[in-house]
Amino acid sequence: MSLALKAYTAFKDDEAKAKALSEIFAEVEANFLKKEDSVNRHDLKEVELALQLEIEKVRKEVKEIESNLRLEIKEVEGRLAVQIEQTKSELIRHMNRHIIWVIGSITLVVGLLKALDYVLK
């Protein structure tokens, strides 16, 4: 039984009130209590399940992305370690060349000083 009919029946002794109330309730039912607009527990449960599925999908995607990023980070760390070792090796090689050059120069200067000392004596 609709609200409008219930209101009319309840106030049927006063025809004007009954008619006015039934019209008000009919308007309320027509505009605000549409069954297709109302949400029931079943609808909410469906939406909740759909959202849970979507959340799980996103979680899986995030885990996959995290896993891929970890692998990429390890690869980059490996490449950097190799480059660091190569740079160290090149630096040591260059330093050794300069040390040898400095030692050679010092030896030459010492030799020249000895020669000068011999000549001047």
Structural domain includes residue 4:
yes
Structural domain includes residue 1:
yes
For residue 36, pLDDT over 80 is answered with: no
Q: What is the pLDDT of residue 116?
A: 93
Structural domain includes residue 59:
no
For residue 37, pLDDT over 70 is answered with: no
What is the pTM (predicted TM-score) of this model?
A: 0.48
Q: CA angle, corner 17, sides to 12 and 22, nearest 5?
A: 80
With cut-offs at 50, 70 and 90, classify the pLDDT of residue 24.
confident
Structural domain includes residue 6:
yes
Number of domains in the chain: 1
For residue 3, pLDDT over 70 is answered with: yes
pLDDT in tens, 52-92: 999 999 999 999 999 999 999 999 999 999 999 999 999 99
Look over the chain and give the mean of its residue pLDDT values, rounded to a whole number: 88
List b or e across 15-41, with b for residues whose CB sees 16 or more CB atoms inside 10 angstroms: eeebeebbeebbeeeeeeeeeeeeeee
Structural domain includes residue 85:
no
